[in-house]
Amino acid sequence: MKLLIYCRVSTEDQNVDQQAQYCKEWAKRQGHEVVWTLKDKESGRKPLLEREKFKKIILKEYNFQFDAVLVYHMDRLTRNWDDVTAIEKFFRENWEDTKLLVTNFDVRLDNAVGRYLFRTMMANFCYMPEDSMEKSRIGIERAKKEGKYKGRPKGAKNLKNRESPITIS
């Protein structure tokens, strides 16, 4: 099978190459041919139509032929609730020509059980970051009331290069 590998990380600071390498090795072990690798550095919470590389897959704008899209993990597709339906619909409607392969899960969108499992797993991947953000907001509000949270220093974008704004006493 000819594969398009789709790799995604959420920020410019993260390394997308390790996903690509893992997928290439997986494809080789399975006897597949990799014809293209797309590397995205955009948040999975970003709406699908704003993620140029993946949007082109869905809109069939690539001129090369492939039989399946391979992703390292299903959460690399999206973490946006609204896009789960669009992704599932695209692969379901094009299943004969374009399969979805995941290195750690056998995706089947050509039957009810497969679609149910896909949507259930994708719901978890969308829920987890949203739930984490909600819990963080609650913690930040509490820390602010206790005078322990001063906010992010001006210009601090990279979490690795700044001091924690929370004072631990």
How buried is residue 34: exposed, middle or buried, by Cβ count under 10 Å (0-12/13-18/19+)?
middle
pLDDT of residue 168: 43
Q: In what order do the strands lie in the sheet with 68-71?
A: 33-41, 2-9, 68-71, 99-102
Tell me, yes or no, whether 142 lies in a domain.
Answer: no
pLDDT of residue 156: 62
**What element of type H or E holds 29?**
helix 17-30
Q: What is the CATH number of the domain that holds 67?
A: 3.40.50.1390
- The three-class DSSP label of residue 124 is helix
Tell me, yes or no, whether 48 lies in a domain.
Answer: yes
Tell me, yes or no, whether 105 lies in a domain.
Answer: yes
Tell me, yes or no, whether 108 lies in a domain.
Answer: yes
Q: Tell me which DSSP letter residue 97 carries.
A: T
Tell me, yes or no, whether 154 lies in a domain.
Answer: no
Number of domains into which the chain is organized: 1
- What confidence tens digit (pLDDT) does each residue in 60-117 have? 887 668 999 999 988 888 888 888 888 899 899 999 888 999 998 888 888 899 899 9
Tell me, yes or no, whether 28 lies in a domain.
Answer: yes
First to last CA, the chain: 58
**Which residues, 6 or more positions from 98, have their beta carbon under 8 angstroms from its beta carbon?**
66, 67, 68, 69, 90, 91
Tell me, yes or no, whether 148 lies in a domain.
Answer: no
**Distance between CA atoms of 167 and 19, rounded to whole angstroms?**
36
- The three-class DSSP label of residue 57 is helix
Residue 75, token pair as written in the block: 């959460």
- What confidence tens digit (pLDDT) does each residue in 11-42 have? 888 889 999 999 999 999 999 999 999 998 88
Tell me, yes or no, whether 141 lies in a domain.
Answer: no
- In this predicted model, which residue has the larger pLDDT, 139 or 117? 117
Expressed as residue numbers, the domain containing 22 is 2-127
Rounded mean pLDDT, 42-55 = 83
Cα-based distances in Å from 142 to 147, 149, 165: 9, 9, 13
Nearest in space to 77 (alpha carbons), one of 33, 111, 109:
109
Q: Report DSSP letters for 67-89, one per residue.
A: SEEEESSGGGT---HHHHHHHHH
